[in-house]
């Protein structure tokens, strides 16, 4: 099999679009919908998840020769839970209000299938450098996806972005957007857009190869 050299940049970039955790892999949806009712919450959640992704990916990669196959999942879960606990206390130390806004969802990062998935599929099979890049890329992609959803929900549901009013007072806010239903709708909207863009990508690639479509 001809090995295609995967450059470090590619490791990072793939998480942003091609393998975007939320819109392509459809992982980590729980926090994507739950904590994205304002852009600020979405950003904080994305950053916290990125932190856990980085630290746990790094740890798993460093320890990968030490953990036998049978003890894999248990060890991964333990490591991820450790860093989730850490980020929980770190956020409490930084800002109590932020911690209160994110609530139990910080602890729920531990069951974000994205992190376990990356640990299993990538970090346990690659060196620390690449694991870091992969974690960073996935984390940024995740944060961006959350931001997209959060910004739409906040603008339509509260008329603001990051707390700054951007729509005039006369705008009747669509409160449903900051309610759970709005989360589902906003996600569906972005998924549609992403699907359409990917469809165009595939069509363009096919035409470029001269295949009769």
Interface with another protein (CB under 8 A): 26-27, 29-31, 33-34, 37, 59, 63, 66-71, 73-75, 77-79, 81-86, 88-90, 92-93, 95-96, 100, 103-104, 107-108, 110-113, 116, 157-158, 173, 175-176, 178-185, 187-188, 191-192, 195-196, 199
Closer to another protein by Cβ: residue 61 or 75: 75
Closer to another protein by Cβ: residue 100 or 206: 100
**What's the min distance (Å) between Cβ of 10 and another protein?**
26
How far is it, in rounded angstroms, from Cα 144 to Cα 147? 5
* Of 99, 120, 122, the residue nearest 35 (C-alpha): 99
Closer to another protein by Cβ: residue 68 or 210: 68
**What's the min distance (Å) between Cβ of 55 and another protein?**
9
Burial (0-12, 13-18, 19+ Cβ within 10 Å), 42? buried
How far is it, in rounded angstroms, from Cα 68 to Cα 81? 19
Closer to another protein by Cβ: residue 15 or 31: 31
**What's the min distance (Å) between Cβ of 6 and another protein?**
23
Closer to another protein by Cβ: residue 16 or 67: 67
Question: What angle do helix axes 113-121 and 72-94 make, rounded to 10 degrees?
Answer: 130
Given phi > 0 = left and psi -120 to 50 = alpha, else beta, which region is 165?
beta
> In sequence order, what are the residues at sequence separation of 6 or more whose Cβ sits closer than 8 angstroms to the Cβ of residue 121?
none
How far is it, in rounded angstroms, from Cα 35 to Cα 51? 17
**What's the min distance (Å) between Cβ of 188 and another protein?**
4
**What's the min distance (Å) between Cβ of 119 and another protein?**
12
């Amino acid at each position: 099999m001809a090995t295609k050299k995967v450059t470090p940049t590619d490791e990072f970039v793939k998480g942003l679009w091609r393998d975007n955790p939320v819109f392509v892999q459809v992982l980590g949806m729980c926090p994507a919908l739950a904590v994205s009712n304002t852009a600020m919450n979405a950003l904080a959640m994305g950053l916290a998840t990125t932190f856990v992704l980085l630290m746990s990916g790094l740890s798993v990669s460093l320890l990968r020769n030490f953990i036998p196959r049978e003890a894999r999942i248990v060890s991964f879960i333990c490591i991820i839970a450790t860093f989730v606990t850490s980020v929980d206390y770190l956020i409490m130390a930084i800002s109590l209000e932020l911690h209160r806004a994110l609530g139990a969802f910080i602890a729920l990062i531990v069951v974000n299938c994205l992190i376990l998935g990356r640990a299993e599929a990538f970090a346990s099979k690659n060196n620390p450098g690449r694991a870091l890049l992969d974690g960073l890329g996935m984390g940024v992609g995740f944060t961006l996806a959350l931001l997209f959803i959060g910004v739409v929900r906040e603008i339509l549901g509260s008329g603001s972005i990051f707390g700054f009013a951007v729509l005039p007072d006369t705008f009747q806010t669509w409160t449903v957007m900051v309610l759970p239903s709005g989360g589902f709708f906003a996600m569906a909207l972005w998924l549609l857009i992403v699907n359409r863009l990917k469809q165009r990508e595939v069509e363009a690639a096919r035409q470029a190869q001269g295949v009769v479509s």
